Chain A
Amino acid sequence: EAGVAQSPRYKIIEKRQSVAFWCNPISGHATLYWYQQILGQGPKLLIQFQNNGVVDDSQLPKDRFSAERLKGVDSTLKIQPAKLEDSAVYLCASSQDIRNTIYFGEGSWLTVV
């Protein structure tokens, strides 16, 4: 069974530029998550989708971050404009349902200079 796919794996941008990350969850998984992981810290939830509806986006900096999950399958996370403190790994994850185990992708590493 294919795992969670993410791209790009690495991205370096200048502050105030924009960037977009793409995620394709495990087939059949209804719940999709975007986490931010800063070096030395645990993952922090940015947004959670159930099918194509938002369940939790309470920690998403909505002035610069946006995410969508069209057709309830793959998802895109966008940052515009980027700040230096956005340098982190952006992890996409999925689960069969909100109650089930979360499985992570390899992550998209962002460096803002």
Chain B
Amino acid sequence: EDQVTQSPEALRLQEGESSSLNCSYTVSGLRGLFWYRQDPGKGPEFLFTLYSAGEEKEKERLKATLTKKESFLHITAPKPEDSATYLCAVQAGGTYKYIFGTGTRLKVLA
């Protein structure tokens, strides 16, 4: 069964304290892995798409990486404005259906 597991569920960091969020997946025929950011009261905002193992994408303080079993979202020197829920999703082969994880709630303290 296609499945996505994100860890940790919640993370509190001090401003400037780098860390990583994990997204483990099992899917038949990965088409793509997606990271979204969701602020309270808003819809998910697209961040990155990764298609194959070894691929990396960067945007400001965020860097996403992909292996055959998991993806990491590395946050370097985070700021309070990086506080949000980060959602991971995989797109399954054949159906192109998205399977979402439950997200990691990140809080960055000033």
**Chain A residues proximal to chain B, CB less than 8 Å:** 4, 40-45, 56, 89, 91, 93, 98-99, 101-107, 109
Measured as residues with beta carbon below 8 angstroms from the partner, the interface class of chain B is 20 to 34
B25-43 CB mask vs A (1 if < 8 Å, else 0) is: 0000001101010000111
Closest to B49 in A: A101
Q: How far is the CA of A35 from the CA of B100 in the complex (A)?
A: 11
Query: A103–B46 contact, CB under 8 A?
Result: yes
Q: How far is the CA of A101 from the CA of B46 in the complex (A)?
A: 8
Decide if the interface of chain A is mainly helix, strand, loop or mixed.
loop
Query: A42–B96 contact, CB under 8 A?
Result: no
Q: How far is the CA of A101 from the CA of B32 in the complex (A)?
A: 9
A sample of 9 cross-chain residue pairs with beta-carbon separation below 8 angstroms, ordered by A number, consists of: A42-B87, A43-B44, A43-B100, A45-B97, A45-B98, A56-B97, A91-B43, A101-B32, A103-B46
Query: B102–A107 contact, CB under 8 A?
Result: no
Q: How far is the CA of A56 from the CA of B97 in the complex (A)?
A: 9
Closest to B9 in A: A40
Interface residues of B in 38-95 (CB under 8 A from A): 41-46, 49, 87, 89, 95
Q: How far is the CA of A5 from the CA of B36 in the complex (A)?
A: 18
